[in-house]
Amino acid sequence: MQTLTGKYRIFSGLRTTWPWLLVLSALLYACQETGNAEKKLPSYDEQARNAVLLPLDSFTNTPLIQQRVAEIRQALTLPIPVLLCNDSLGGPQQMAQMLALRDTGFARHLKNPASGKPYRNEIFGVYPARQSDLVTVKLPYTLQSTYRVEMYNYALNMTSVAMVDVDRQQVLTSYIIEDVQPDVSGYLKDLAVKIAVEAPEVQQALGIKPSEKEALMASTKTALNRSRCERSRHLCVAPTFVKGDKALWAIIDLTDHRLVGIRWTTVGEPGTAVPLLTEKKLQDDKITSCYCEVEQPLKKNSWEMKYMLTSSDGLRISDVQFNGQPVLRSAKLVDWHVSYSGTDGFGYSDAVGCPYFSQAAVVAWEIPKVAELRDDQQRVIGFVLEQTYRSEGWPTPCNYNYRQRYEFYNDGRFRVACASIGRGCGNTGTYRPVFRIAFSGEQNSFYEYKENNWQQWQQEQWQQQGSLTSYTPEGFQYKIGSGGKGYFIEPGRGQFGDGGRGDFSWVYVTRHQAGRDEGENDLVTIGPCCNTDYHQGPDKFIEPGPEDIMQSSLVVWYVAQMRNDDRKGNEYCWAENVLEDGVWRTKAYPCFAGPMFVPVKN
Amino acid sequence: MKFRFHTESRFKSCCQQAGILVACMSVVIMLNRCTGITTGPDDFTKWLPASIPDTVYLDLSNVYTRHKRELGRYLFYDNRLSVNNTRSCSSCHAQTFSFTDSYTRSSGAMGDLHQRNSRPLINLVYNRYLTAADSTIHFPESQMDGPLFNEHPPEMGAGGHKQQIMDRLKNDSIYIALYAKAYPGEKDPVNWKNSKLAIATFIKTIISTDAPYDRYRRDSIQYPLPAPATRGRQLFFSDKLKCYQCHGGNDFSTPLQTVQQRQPDFYFNTGLYNIDGKGGYPSYDRGLIDLTGEKTDEGKYRVPVLRNLVFTAPYYHDGSALTLEEVILGYEQGGRIVKNGPFAGDGRINPFKSPLVSGFSLTDTERRDLISFLYSLSDSVLINNKNYANPYR
């Protein structure tokens, strides 16, 4: 009504002259284009191709792409229409690949059921299996002869995984994960680099044609809003070229074999590259043989558990007990989502894992470390199990350094934590580590502290920690357990003395059911890199039909958010090379995140 | 009710250009032509909700039409307006984040960081001063020259590439049609002037007025505020905190003394920095002093809009506060203390700090209540409003 009043005031002088106005308005309208019906505009896809993306599409007809397209077309005419892994595979791996394709579960989506036309499927990798891959397997197997086969369906954007014991000629288990993309093969990584290097847009931006070996992070999956890479609907990677204090991202759509966009980020002062490669090979051998192939037992103070390095889910602990009482079925670090733009949605889906078993960009650098935890008075209050992961070129730009840490206290508390040591591929990064924490017990319930009370969650759901989040006076936000036993969950708010500035976490709770794998086995990258909302991956186990979670076996997913900062005096998730005493030294500013679990005392 | 269109001198010029005598009737008609105020689909006021009793600032030389607005919406979301096809206006002003970008400082087409945090492009027509530290810019028509053509640092990077960028659009059948409708009768309508006017037209229609607090003000019975927000509101308007002294008006960005006395004092130093103990701010961005040269203007920035804070973190002109708690704690202390680095200093004793920032104390609950109230100013309808959405989707 007030607007009408306003209009009335503006036009109040017109009341007596309205016939004039009517005539003149009619004349004015007559002068304006009355217009025909609105022309129908092209669809989004057409727009995306023609308007929003790079205007040039010069590379799609090069011999390299023509050859790839010919291979695809030829594969689709085969009885089993699958592109086999193009990486050099040994005999047993090739055998595993073929056995997997004969498994009805693994090969469930080779063709469109309605038309019978083949989907494009491609085996991305065949890797030696580890115990972390076989958590749900009930059949007998021989670890040394078992392989993990990963296949990607481009049309449906889903991943099929099969565990195959070649000696027994048997598929031990197979499953499909929707909206998930496996690690890309070496062949596809090379293809992406070639497309990037040859692209005129990249050459124009850099001022030269880069060499293939300059491309960093080429196997790490990415996304880009307003392109087919958005929310990882297509398989996309981003070979990245560092030039001075900037990095050029060439975002390559491997579904369509084209460059979909370039983006610049600032990586800070380049300094001088000081990668630490000494004896890396020896370290890799030791890590692999000791910690990737078999679980290691750990018994210390009142704690007992097993641990091992997974392919892409970091250091996994399992069967965790305190004073003989089961605490956790397992805990692991599924992904690092590293976003460099909230609006363009590009970044990396980093995985951390074993050196030889993974295409993950960031691999275990040293053996897992067990060390004592001490308080301010240097009294031993527990111990820490810690794993470092690092890109080979760290601390130079576009290389990553992560730390994963489990803290176990003598009083029964424990903490699941991680850190990025910087500096990554830009100074606008947001790091989102994805933890999966599966609690022991079949009768657990989950509670949130709200309005001065513990309120029980009835169904699978998620919650974000924010400025209005309620905490108990002790700082607890959640509680999990049954029968008066269990754990309070205390999210990071900068209180743990490790420099963390708060987790701003999403917490998801899902129900674990035997016989259904929702991340119990090693997970390939979960979810897209760069969503700024709750779509971080675990949501796929909740939506569209959340299940009842009262008195159930529960899994807590914890996704923290850390924003890097390169401002002097305020650095966070950052690293830089500085000249000290005449030599280059690396200064790192880690950002830590992760919740503390505190026993509920009766 | 004061619903006035500030015509500025451009209105006169618009009318003079039309060569029409300024008789009473003609003025009204020209107002129609210059502002697009009609009762038809080209009525700009349809974007202005009834509930906002505030002054409207419009560059009347830019006549509103729905076709111009639609062209502007396409251009706003088009990466081709940047030198290397990588950034559009929406890159730093995304609807999801209430037309900001969620980053501390925005980066341009070449990856360079801007010195400022992206500001929300909402309710611009209700704001006399649009930018953080330039009191001479009142309309988006003139403001956008900065992001489009700046070179230090380049944002869109269009400077020096104007023709090349327009040529991209000239060959696009969609744009040929959109420009023809927006500028009927023009021989060569695809040019920068028309593009800027169209983008400005679109931006001016981005109106955010459907926050819980707006609904509460419209009908407090049907839309009561939750108890914490109600308590927070009392704090906000209390004599203890006096937030309203600077954060008045429809967008909580108009200082009270300005409302009452019509003094154009929208710029304040809130004691964020005090690098040298003499009121120093980081050299790359010193506030209003960079425009006026007056030492007392060092560290002065425009009072920010308090709407949609849920979506617009981080805060301050340089994005240096990640959370509202940090911001409020700064005000509690009567200025911010920067402990480390080259910008270390005690903002509480900045000699140019406004005396209005004198500190107060809050309990944790009170601070949360205040945040609840501030959150109640957030309009989730806006971020899903299809009128403002990317047309390419």
Q: Residue by residue, what is the 3-state secondary structure of chain B?
A: CCCCEECHHHHHHHHHHHCCCCCHHHHHHHHHHHHCCCCCCCCHHHHCCCCCCCCEECCCCCCCCHHHHHHHHHHHCCHHHCCCCCCCHHHHCEHHHCCECCCCCCECCCCCECCCCCCCCCCHHHCCCCCCCCCCCCCHHHHCHHHHHCECCECCCCCCCHHHHHHHHHCCHHHHHHHHHHCCCCCCCCCHHHHHHHHHHHHHCCCCCCCHHHHHHHCCCCCCCCHHHHHHHHHHCCCCCCHHHCCECCCCCECHHHHHHCCCCCEECCCCCCCCCCCCCCCCCCCCHHHHCCHHHCCCEECCCCCCCCCCCCECCCCCECCHHHHHHHHHHCCCEECCCCCCEEHHHCCCCCCCCCCCCCCHHHHHHHHHHHHCCCCCCHHHCHHHCCCCC
Q: Kindly report each contact of residues A105-108 with a partner whose C-beta sits within 8 Å and lies 24 or more positions away, as own/partner.
A: A105/A160, A105/A162, A105/A171, A105/A174, A105/A175, A105/A176, A106/A149, A106/A151, A106/A160, A106/A161, A106/A162, A106/A171, A106/A174, A106/A176, A107/A80, A107/A82, A107/A160, A108/A160, A108/A176
CA of B110, closest CA in chain A: separation in Å? 5
What pTM, to 2 d.p., does this model score? 0.78
Average pLDDT in chain B: 86
pLDDT value of residue A496 = 92
pLDDT above 70 coverage of chain B, percent = 87
pLDDT value of residue A282 = 54
Give the count of Cβ contacts less than 8 A between chain A and B: 169
pLDDT value of residue A279 = 52
CA of B268, closest CA in chain A: separation in Å? 24
* Residue A251 backbone dihedrals phi, psi, to 5 degrees: -90, 115
CA distance B64 to A387: 61
pLDDT interval class at B241 (50, 70, 90): very high
pLDDT interval class at A399 (50, 70, 90): confident
Closest CA to A505 of A441, A583, A448, A454: A448
pLDDT above 90 coverage of chain A, percent = 39
Residue B373 scores a pLDDT above 90 = yes
Average pLDDT in chain A: 82
pLDDT value of residue B13 = 38
CA distance B231 to B369: 6
Mean pLDDT of B45-50: 84
Residue B33 scores a pLDDT above 80 = no
Residue-wise pLDDT tens digits, B132-191: 998 888 899 999 999 999 888 889 999 989 999 999 999 899 999 999 999 999 999 999
Residue-wise pLDDT tens digits, A19-32: 444 444 443 443 33
CA distance B185 to B175: 15
How far is CA A443 from each of CA A59, A119, A485, B35, rounded to the nearest angstrom? Answer: 57, 42, 11, 67
Mean pLDDT of B189-208: 96
Mean pLDDT of A479-499: 93
Query: By mean pLDDT, which of A217-221, A510-514, B359-363 is the weakest?
Result: A217-221
Residue A50 scores a pLDDT above 80 = no
pLDDT value of residue B260 = 53
Q: Do A51 and B172 touch (CB under 8 A)?
A: yes
pLDDT value of residue A284 = 65
pLDDT value of residue B8 = 39
Crossing angle of helices B192-204 and B66-76, rounded to 10°:
100
Mean pLDDT of B47-74: 87
CA of B10, closest CA in chain A: separation in Å? 18
Residue-wise pLDDT tens digits, A214-266: 898 888 877 777 677 776 778 888 899 988 888 888 989 888 888 888 888 88
Please tell me if residue A40 touches chain B, with a CB cutoff of 8 Å: no
pLDDT interval class at A161 (50, 70, 90): very high
Please tell me if residue B32 touches chain A, with a CB cutoff of 8 Å: yes
Please tell me if residue B343 touches chain A, with a CB cutoff of 8 Å: yes
B49 class by beta-carbon count within 10 Å (0-12 exposed, 13-18 middle, 19+ buried): middle
Cβ(B248)–Cβ(B257) under 8 Å? no
pLDDT value of residue A285 = 67
Please tell me if residue A427 touches chain B, with a CB cutoff of 8 Å: yes
Please tell me if residue B1 touches chain A, with a CB cutoff of 8 Å: yes
Query: By mean pLDDT, which of A170-179, A270-279, B58-67 is the weakest?
Result: A270-279
Residue B24 scores a pLDDT above 70 = no
pLDDT value of residue A376 = 86
ipTM over 0.90: no
Residue A569 scores a pLDDT above 60 = yes
Residue-wise pLDDT tens digits, A402-443: 999 999 999 999 999 999 987 788 888 899 999 999 999 999
Partner residue facing B24 (CB), from A13, A427, A565? A13
How far is CA B97 from each of CA B312, B316, B379, rounded to the nearest angstrom? Answer: 6, 15, 11
SS3 content of chain A, % helix, strand, coil (to 5): 20, 35, 45
CA distance A505 to A561: 6
Please tell me if residue A260 touches chain B, with a CB cutoff of 8 Å: no
pLDDT value of residue A87 = 82
State the best of A339, A467, A566, A570 to mutate against chain B, taking most chain B CBs within 10 Å: A467
CA distance A391 to A399: 5
CA distance A197 to A514: 47
pLDDT interval class at A56 (50, 70, 90): very low
Q: Do B45 and A3 touch (CB under 8 A)?
A: yes
More confident residue, A591 or B20: A591
- With CA atoms as reference, the chain A residue closest to B373 would be A468
Closest CA to B146 of B131, B135, B161: B131
pLDDT value of residue A274 = 52
More confident residue, B348 or A88: B348
- With CA atoms as reference, the chain A residue closest to B109 would be A264
Q: State which H helix or E strand residue A17 sits in.
A: none
Q: Which range, A236-240, A551-555, B47-51, is most confident? A: A551-555
pLDDT value of residue A398 = 81
Q: Dihedral sign for Cα B165, B170, B171, B172, please.
A: positive
- With H, G, I as helix, E, B as strand and everything else as coil, classify residue A15: helix
Q: What stretches of A57-210 show up as alpha helix (H) in DSSP?
A: 63-76, 91-101, 186-198, 200-206
Mean pLDDT of A53-65: 56
